[in-house]
Amino acid sequence: MLEAIISDIHANLQALQAVLEDIDALKVDRIVCLGDVVGYGPDPAECVRIVMQRCAFTLLGNHEFAVLHGPDGFNPIAEAALSWTREQLKDKEILRFVQGLKSAYLEEDRLYVHGSVRDSLLDYVREPESYLSFRRVVEEIRETFTLFNICFTGHNHRAFLGTDEGFIFPHAGAHRFHVKGAKLYVCVGSVGQPRDEDWRACYVLFDGENVEYRRVPYDVAVTARRIREAGLNEFLADRLFAGQ
């Protein structure tokens, strides 16, 4: 089975549509979403409706959680965007869908989470900013990856593999990795707001043995214009062009 794993759409309809066009061209068997369909971007309701129709399952992200329960730990820009987003999600069908989401899903030898094994909703899998960050990832993989081999995660908006031997970053010369039998984190990146200095939408393909990172261009200017028209903070529009 060929599976597409998307995450962190953040109400970026143009990026989501471009990714789905790429997915459809590849004859993917199913799509799953790791959460944060909403937040920051200008089209939350439209993106939720698409995910409802297209994804085999969708996880609860911290932005969906904040829509339901209020922001906690959000910076002022994100909090203002969340308040605006909440006003856009009045449709009863959408609200029932969001209310029914869970932040983790275990299937065979795969765990799908929004955050990490430690906290499936809020925790981040971080790159080796320090030795302690790397050691924590190694310990998690060696000690907690018992019921599963691979943990697919979003939330950090960055594309990389976290293994018990090091971190692997996809690039033009290496974006497909054989992972059968390995225990590792697969951080799938972000569809709607990448933060790895590559503005293109990012998602992952998985066929049971290989992980492939896909980068898809989209019309950033349209999303940026719609963010400004919605009255959201200018920073949310500008950051899309730089992938930050």
Q: pLDDT tens digits for 182-224? A: 999 999 999 999 999 999 999 999 999 999 999 999 999 999 9
Tokens linked to 192: 């709607």
What does the pLDDT look like over 86-114, one tens digit per residue?
999 999 999 999 999 999 999 999 999 99
**Which of the residue ranges 11-25, 82-96, 100-114, 127-141 would you say has the lowest mean pLDDT?**
127-141
Tokens linked to 103: 């932040």
Q: Whole-angstrom Cα distance, residue 112 to residue 105?
A: 5
pLDDT, the chain, mean: 94
CB 2 within 8 A of CB 26: yes
Predicted local confidence at residue 127, as pLDDT: 72
Q: Whole-angstrom Cα distance, residue 157 to residue 188?
A: 8
| Separation of CA 59 from chain center | 10
Mean pLDDT (whole number) for 58-69: 96
Predicted local confidence at residue 205, as pLDDT: 98
Strand order in the sheet with 150-153: 104-107, 110-113, 150-153, 184-188, 159-163, 167-168
Q: Whole-angstrom Cα distance, residue 109 to residue 232?
A: 41
Q: Whole-angstrom Cα distance, residue 31 to residue 10?
A: 17
pLDDT of residue 130 exceeding 70: no
CB 35 within 8 A of CB 59: yes
The count of residues in the chain is: 244
Q: What is the pairing mode between strands 184-188 and 150-153? A: parallel
Predicted local confidence at residue 52, as pLDDT: 98
In the chain, the domains with their CATH numbers are: 3-242 (3.60.21.10)
Predicted local confidence at residue 216, as pLDDT: 97
pLDDT of residue 45 exceeding 60: yes
DSSP state at residue 69: H
Q: Whole-angstrom Cα distance, residue 149 to residue 181?
A: 7
pLDDT of residue 33 exceeding 80: yes
Predicted local confidence at residue 65, as pLDDT: 97
- Residue matched to tokens 């790397």: 134
Q: Whole-angstrom Cα distance, residue 200 to residue 48?
A: 21
Is this model's pTM higher than 0.85 or not? Answer: yes
Mean pLDDT (whole number) for 41-55: 98
